[in-house]
Amino acid sequence: MDVREIRLTPVTDTADSTPDHGTHPAGRPNILFCIADDASWLHMGAYGCNWVQTPAFDRVAREGLLFTRAYTPNAKCAPSRACILTGRNPWQLEAACNHWPYFPPEFRTWAEVLGEHGYHAGMTGKGWAPGVAKDENGKLRQLAGKPWQAKKKQPPTKAISNNDYAANFTEFLNANPDEKPWCFWYGSTEPHRGYEYGTGVSVGGKSLADIDEVPPFWPDNEVIRNDMLDYALEIEHFDTHLNRMLSELEERGILENTIVVVTADNGMPFPRIKGQEYELSNHLPLAIMWKNGIQKPGRIVDDLVSFIDFAPTFLEAAEVEWQPSGMSPSPGHSLVSSIFTVSQQSEQGPRLRDFLLIGKERHDIGRPEDQGYPIRGVVKGDYLYIRNFETDRWPAGNPETGYLNCDGSPTKTEILNARRYGADTAGRWQLSFGKRPSEELYLLTQDRYCLRNLAAVPAFDDIRQNLAETMTTALKSEGDPRIL
C-alpha cells in the first residue's frame, strides 16, 4: 500500500487555504483527544486501507493533517499513555515506564494542568491504564480528567463495551460551566481484545477476501482472516463514536476552535506487534484537525512525531507556560509553530527531529520474578535499530507461562498449534515468541514487517554503528538509567 494514495483533498496554494490569523487564534482552543486501544496505522482509511471503514478519521485527516511517521516510545497501554500525558519518554518516568505500575506522584499530566488553568477537563472510556495513580496523600488521581461514564448503549457485539462514549461527551459539554475552554479524553476500549469470533463477517458484513494482505509472520487462513475482521469491526465502532462527537461539535458551532487529535496507544493486539518494539508496534495512526489554527489543511506530514510531543503542543496552544505549570521537563516538541503553521521556505515547516527513540522495560508478567525484557531503539531515516539487553530471556514471556506478554487470540493459537504439531515450516513461532539477538536493524522502506535483520550484514556495519551511537548519546542526555 502506497501511503501517497491516501484519500485526501489536494491543497492548492490560494489565500482561502490559509486561516487569516497567527499561531494563536482568538480564544484558547478546546482539545478533543481521541485514542483507540490497540490499533495499527495501516488500518485507517486515510492511509489506503479498504477493509476497515473509518470515515471520521479520514475526515479529520482531510480537513486537518495526516501524519505518516507518528510513533509511541513504548508500544503498550499504560506506558504509552504515560508518555502522552507527561511529555516524557519511558526511561524518564520511573515506575510509569512499566505496565500495571504505580504512577509516581511527581509526574503531572497535561489534563491535570489544564484543569488548573481554566479548562473544563473530562474523559470517557479508558484513560491512563492499567495501573494505580495516587497523589502524595494517597488520593486517587484522574490523570486524563474527570470520568464521564454513566451513559450506556447496546453494543453491536458482546465483546464491545456498552459505554456510549459520544453520549458521555455530550453530557460533559452540557456540564461545562460558563462556557470555559475544555479538554476531553475519548479513550475507547476498542479494538482491545477480546473479540466475539466471526462478528466481522456476521455483524460487519465483511468478507474474508476483503483483506488485501495478511502479515507474513502469521499463517494466511480462515481463522486469522476472521480474527483480523473482528478487529476491524471494533475499529469501526471507535470511529462511529468519533463521528458522533464531530457532529456534536458542529451543531454547537465550536468545531472550528477545537483541536481534534485521533490516534491509538499501540499497534494491533496480535503476535509480534502489540508489546514489542517493531515498526507495526510503535508506528501509529495520527490525524489532527484544528480549523482555526492549522494553516493549509489537507497536508501530509512526514516529520518524525513522537507521543511526547502532545503535551508540549497542548500547553502551548492553551497558552500555559511549561515550567511554572509543574510539568516535569520534556524532550518533546510542540507542533503548534513547527507543523500547524507553514513557513515561507517549506509547506512542511522546519523538521521536528532527525530521529526518535523507542524502548521498554517490563510489560506483563510471565517470566521468573516478573522480569522485564528491556529494549531500546531508534528510528532514523529509513532505518529502525533495536538493542535487546537480556537476550537470554523470552521476549514475549516464558513458554511454560503461555507467552503472557502476547494477548491470547485465535491468531496466537494458530501459531502455537503449528509449532506443536510440526507444521511451522515458515518459522513464524520464532518471529513472535523465540529468543532474539542483541542487535536488530531493519530497512523500513523495504521491510515494514521487520523480517530481515541486517545487523549482522557487513554492508550495513557503518549504518548500524552510527545508529547505535546516536541512540546511546541521546539516551544518556535524557538520563536513561539503563545506559548511564
Cell of 281: 508496534
Rounded-to-integer distance, Cα 231 and Cα 43, Å: 10
Say whether both 203 and 55 belong to one domain: yes
SS (H, E, C) 285-340: CCEEECCCCCCCCCEEECCCEEHHHHHHHHHHHCCCCHHHHCCCCCCCCCCHHHHH
**Which band of pLDDT confidence, cut at 50, 70 and 90, is reported for residue 352?**
confident
In a domain, 331, yes or no: yes
The letter for the amino acid at 281 is S
Which of 318, 349, 380 corresponds to the end of one domain? 349
Q: For the chain, how many structural domains are there in total?
A: 2
Are 76 and 361 contacting, i.e. CB atoms less than 8 angstroms apart? no
For the cut 50, the answer to whether the pLDDT of residue 17 exceeds it is no
What CATH number is attached to the domain comprising 417? Answer: 3.30.1120
Say whether both 282 and 156 belong to one domain: yes
Are 311 and 325 contacting, i.e. CB atoms less than 8 angstroms apart? no
Rounded-to-integer distance, Cα 468 and Cα 48, Å: 33
Say whether both 368 and 340 belong to one domain: no
Rounded-to-integer distance, Cα 449 and Cα 431, Å: 11
Beta bridge partners of 301: 67
Other CB atoms within 10 A of residue 468 CB:
17
Rounded to 5 degrees, what are φ and ψ at 83? -65, -45
Could you write out the DSSP letters of every residue in 36-103? Answer: ESS--GGGSGGGT-SSS--HHHHHHHHHSEEESSEE-SS-SHHHHHHHHHHS--GGGSGGGGSSS-EE
Q: How much is the pLDDT for 350?
A: 58
Are 291 and 257 contacting, i.e. CB atoms less than 8 angstroms apart? yes
Mean pLDDT of 95-116: 97
Which of 328, 349, 370 corresponds to the end of one domain? 349
Strands 182-187 vs 258-264: parallel, antiparallel or unpaired: unpaired
Say whether both 343 and 371 belong to one domain: no
Say whether both 97 and 189 belong to one domain: yes
For the cut 90, the answer to whether the pLDDT of residue 230 exceeds it is yes
In a domain, 10, yes or no: no
**Which band of pLDDT confidence, cut at 50, 70 and 90, is reported for residue 19?**
very low
In a domain, 473, yes or no: yes
Say whether both 326 and 456 belong to one domain: no
Coil, strand, or helix at residue 436? coil
Domain that holds residue 100: 25-349
How many residues does this entry show for the chain?
484
Say whether both 458 and 430 belong to one domain: yes
Treating both helix axes as pointing N-terminal to C-terminal, what angle do 55-63 and 222-252 enclose, rounded to 10 degrees?
Answer: 50
Q: Which helix (H) or strand (E) holds 112?
A: helix 110-116
Mean pLDDT of 254-269: 99
In a domain, 432, yes or no: yes
Say whether both 342 and 363 belong to one domain: no
In a domain, 340, yes or no: yes
Mean pLDDT of 35-43: 98
Q: What is the pTM of this model?
A: 0.94
Cell of 427: 518459522
Sequence-distant (≥ 6) Cβ neighbours of residue 376 within 8 angstroms: 91, 357, 358, 359, 386, 387, 389, 471, 475, 480, 482, 483
For the cut 80, the answer to whether the pLDDT of residue 12 exceeds it is no
Which of 317, 349, 381 corresponds to the end of one domain? 349
pLDDT in tens, 299-312: 999 999 999 999 99
In a domain, 176, yes or no: yes
Say whether both 142 and 269 belong to one domain: yes
Say whether both 404 and 280 belong to one domain: no
Mean pLDDT of 403-420: 98
Say whether both 340 and 360 belong to one domain: no
What per-residue string of b and e applies to 209-223 under the rule 16 or more CB within 10 Å gives b?
ebbeeebebbbeeeb
Q: How much is the pLDDT for 347?
A: 55
Are 80 and 102 contacting, i.e. CB atoms less than 8 angstroms apart? no
What CATH number is attached to the domain comprising 314? Answer: 3.40.720.10
Other CB atoms within 10 A of residue 116 CB:
12
**Which band of pLDDT confidence, cut at 50, 70 and 90, is reported for residue 4?**
very low
**Which band of pLDDT confidence, cut at 50, 70 and 90, is reported for residue 177?**
confident
Say whether both 337 and 364 belong to one domain: no
For the cut 60, the answer to whether the pLDDT of residue 163 exceeds it is yes
Q: How much is the pLDDT for 7?
A: 39
In a domain, 299, yes or no: yes
Are 193 and 364 contacting, i.e. CB atoms less than 8 angstroms apart? no
pLDDT in tens, 132-148: 999 999 999 999 999 99
Query: Cell 473482528 sits at which residue?
Result: 230
For the cut 70, the answer to whether the pLDDT of residue 172 exceeds it is yes
Strands 182-187 vs 287-289: parallel, antiparallel or unpaired: unpaired
Percent of the chain clearing pLDDT 70 (strictly above):
93
For the cut 80, the answer to whether the pLDDT of residue 348 exceeds it is no
Mean pLDDT of 93-99: 96
In a domain, 285, yes or no: yes
Mean pLDDT of the chain: 93
pLDDT in tens, 353-387: 999 999 999 998 889 998 999 999 999 999 999 99
- Please give the order of strands across the beta sheet that includes 283-284: 283-284, 70-71, 305-306
